[in-house]
Amino acid sequence: MPIQVLMPALSPTMEKGNLAKWLKKEGEQIKSGDVIAEIETDKATMEVEATDEGTLGKILIPEGTADVAVNTPIATILADGESAADLAKAPAAPAKQEKAAESAPPAAAKAEARQPKAAPAPQVVAEPDPEVPAGTEMVTQTIREALRDAMAEEMRRDQDVFVMGEEVAEYQGAYKVTQGLLQEFGAKRVIDTPITEHGFAGVGVGAAMTGLKPIVEFMTFNFAMQAIDQIINSAAKTLYMSGGQMGCSIVFRGPNGAAARVAAQHSQDYSSWYSNIPGLKVVAPFSAADYKGLLKAAIRDPNPVIFLENEVLYGHTGQVPKLDDFVIPIGKARIVRAGSHVTIISWSNGMTYALKAADELAKEGIEAEVIDLRTLRPMDTETIVNSVKKTGRAVTVEEGWAQSGVGAEIAARIMENAFDYLDAPVTRVSGKDVPMPYAANLEKLALPSAAEVVEAAKAVCYR
Catalytic machinery residues = 197, 266
Around Cβ 131, how many Cβ atoms within 10 Å? 17
**How far is it, in rounded angstroms, from Cα 34 to Cα 254?**
24
Residues 6+ apart with CB under 8 A from 162: 155, 185, 188, 189, 190, 191, 207, 212, 213, 214, 215
The helix (H) or strand (E) run that includes residue 185 is helix 181-185
Kindly state the DSSP code that residue 269 receives in the 8-state scheme: -
State the first-to-last Cα distance of the chain, in angstroms, to the nearest integer.
59
| DSSP per-residue letters across 380-441 | -HHHHHHHHHHHS-EEEEEEEESTT-HHHHHHHHHHHHHGGG-SS--EEEEE-SSPPPSSHH
C-alpha dist (Å) from residue 2 to 33, 77, 89: 18, 6, 7
**How far is it, in rounded angstroms, from Cα 123 to Cα 358?**
11
Residue 222 main-chain phi, psi, to 5 deg: -60, -35
**How far is it, in rounded angstroms, from Cα 235 to Cα 318?**
33
Determine what percent of the chain falls in helix, strand and coil, rounding each to the nearest 5. Answer: 30, 25, 45
Judged on CB neighbours under 10 Å (0-12, 13-18, 19+), 81 is exposed
Contact between residue 78 and residue 146 where contact means Cβ atoms under 8 Å apart:
no
**How far is it, in rounded angstroms, from Cα 411 to Cα 427?**
8
**How far is it, in rounded angstroms, from Cα 24 to Cα 62?**
12
Judged on CB neighbours under 10 Å (0-12, 13-18, 19+), 203 is middle
Kindly state the DSSP code that residue 207 receives in the 8-state scheme: H
Contact between residue 342 and residue 354 where contact means Cβ atoms under 8 Å apart:
no
**How far is it, in rounded angstroms, from Cα 172 to Cα 163?**
12
Question: Is the backbone of residue 71 left (phi > 0), alpha (psi -120 to 50) or beta?
Answer: left
Contact between residue 235 and residue 203 where contact means Cβ atoms under 8 Å apart:
no
Q: Is the dihedral of CA 407, 289, 227, 299 positive or negative?
A: negative
Q: Are strands 317-321 and 342-346 parallel, antiparallel or unpaired?
A: unpaired
